[in-house]
């Protein structure tokens, strides 16, 4: 099975003769592996060469060499015999829109790529986000970095190589990773309580897998808030007495449907949850972001079909008055279940992906410190109603439904999310 070059051309949009991508890659000794991989997908080099308003992130030979071969990205590189996997890998490195290095700031910009749900092999899909998988662009001191799945950070080693007027190429030192399914992420990142709670709740829809063996309706394009294990333990007494229906309501309150919401787009807005009750967002001048009385402590994890934000307390269904937020209070004083007491062992213990050998042993410092939202007075309360980098992206590509909904959310049009 080979991906349709016509579909790639449709995604890229208006095309005009720009340059010869194969010739450019051939002239760069450290991009020979990329040149070989591009050559495996019929017509891809010519299609990208003719495209307008895209940014290509080009992994160097060393970047490809260090990808573990037991991961989907590494298998695609090693064996060269699964064209769809190779095409998916490359599509994840092509951004819709032109992003020169000098417009990247210390507040991340999340942009969509050409990796969409059409890339499926016999063993796995690679992304299921409408309009294309997201990756993040952020400045790290003097470096421009790209944030992708599995807590991967890639650093631009050579920026702003131009191929005609509509294509910008940046070399990177690390191959981008695909977003993991939600349950796999919670296992690998150590959020086992959320993993077990989702297993026990049997919500009736699948939260990040696909295929005939999966139970429930597969959903995409959502935002989920993941309480830490400590957050679950602090309300253990409530969970011990909760019936299945209550657990389901609590977990549904942690999910926003039909929109992939990254933290830089947040403002002081309310948004409906899957449970039906609104979630209230608050952005403070210090750059912290809150959902109801929970602080977002680790934002913007890019997953297979959604974005996840880690929070420091479990949310309780019900309307929340922003004026009651006490951001200086300790987490134990902000419990949504004020009568709860802590327990050492939670009532649900069965987890998905038990035995998976990969874990995130240490979270990169950049992911721990990167700004969740802008802190300037003009941008802290709400995002602009225009997409980021509008002067650079041109008219060739639209950021599609999810991106537009995020911008609408930022100015308070929460009804669009339902």
pLDDT digits (tens, 9 = 90+) for 326-339: 999 999 999 999 88
Rounded-to-integer distance, Cα 368 and Cα 240, Å? 32
**Structural domain harbouring 84:** 5-172
Q: What percentage of the chain carries pLDDT values higher than 70?
A: 82
Among residues 172, 190, 215, the one where a domain terminates is 172
DSSP class per residue in 268-321: S-EEE-TTSSEEEEEE-TTS-EEETTEEEEEEEEEBSSEEEEEESS---SS---
The answer to whether residues 102 and 121 belong to one domain is yes
The answer to whether residues 203 and 295 belong to one domain is yes
**pTM score:** 0.85
* Sequence-ordered strand ranges (E) for 18-98: 54-59, 94-96
Q: Determine the pLDDT at residue 206.
A: 65
* Contact of 97 with 397, CB cutoff 8 Å: yes
**Which residue has better confidence, 103 or 410?**
103
Q: Is residue 27 part of a domain?
A: yes
The answer to whether residues 29 and 165 belong to one domain is yes
The answer to whether residues 102 and 230 belong to one domain is no
The answer to whether residues 151 and 192 belong to one domain is no
pLDDT reading at 53 higher than 50: yes
**How many domains is the chain built from?**
2
For 163, phi then psi, to 5°, come to -125, 95
CATH number of the domain where residue 218 is located? 2.30.180.10
Mean predicted confidence (pLDDT) in 296-321 = 96
Mean predicted confidence (pLDDT) in 361-379 = 80
């Amino acid at each position: 099975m080979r991906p349709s070059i016509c579909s790639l051309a449709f995604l890229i949009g208006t095309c005009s003769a720009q340059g010869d991508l194969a010739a450019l890659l051939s002239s760069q000794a450290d991009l020979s592996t990329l040149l070989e991989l591009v050559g495996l997908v019929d017509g891809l080099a010519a299609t990208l060469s003719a495209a307008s308003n895209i940014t290509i992130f080009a992994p160097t030979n060393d970047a490809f060499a260090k990808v573990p071969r037991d991961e989907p990205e590494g298998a695609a590189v090693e064996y060269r015999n699964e064209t769809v996997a190779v095409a998916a890998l490359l599509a994840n490195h092509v951004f819709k829109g032109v992003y020169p290095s000098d417009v990247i700031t210390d507040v991340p910009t999340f942009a969509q790529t050409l990796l969409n749900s059409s890339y499926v092999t016999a063993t796995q899909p690679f992304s299921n986000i409408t309009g294309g998988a997201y990756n993040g662009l952020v400045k790290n001191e003097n470096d421009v970095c790209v944030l992708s799945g599995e807590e991967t950070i890639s650093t631009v080693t050579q920026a702003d190589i131009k191929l005609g007027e509509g294509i910008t190429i940046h070399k990177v030192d690390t191959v981008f990773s695909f977003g993991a399914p939600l349950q796999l992420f919670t296992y690998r990142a150590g959020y086992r309580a959320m993993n077990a709670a989702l297993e026990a709740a049997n919500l009736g829809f699948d939260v990040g897998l696909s295929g005939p063996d999966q139970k429930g309706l597969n959903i995409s394009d959502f935002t989920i808030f993941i309480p830490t294990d400590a957050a679950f333990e602090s309300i253990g007494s409530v969970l011990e007495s909760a019936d299945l229906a209550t657990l389901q309501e609590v977990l549904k309150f942690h999910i926003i449907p039909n929109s992939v919401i990254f933290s830089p787009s947040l403002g002081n807005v309310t948004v409906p949850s899957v449970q039906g009750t609104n979630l209230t967002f608050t952005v403070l001048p210090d750059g912290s972001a809150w959902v109801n009385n929970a602080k977002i402590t680790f934002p913007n994890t890019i997953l297979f079909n959604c974005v996840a934000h880690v929070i420091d307390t479990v949310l309780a269904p019900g309307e929340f008055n922003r004026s009651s937020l006490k951001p200086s209070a300790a987490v134990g004083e902000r419990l949504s279940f004020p009568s709860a007491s802590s327990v050492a062992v939670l009532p649900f213990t069965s987890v998905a992906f038990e035995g998976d050998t990969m874990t995130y042993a240490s979270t990169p410092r950049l992911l721990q410190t990167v700004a969740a939202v802008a802190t300037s007075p003009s941008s802290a309360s709400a995002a602009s109603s225009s997409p980021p980098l509008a002067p650079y992206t041109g008219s060739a590509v639209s950021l599609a439904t999810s991106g537009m909904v995020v911008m609408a959310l930022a100015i308070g049009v929460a009804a669009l999310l339902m």
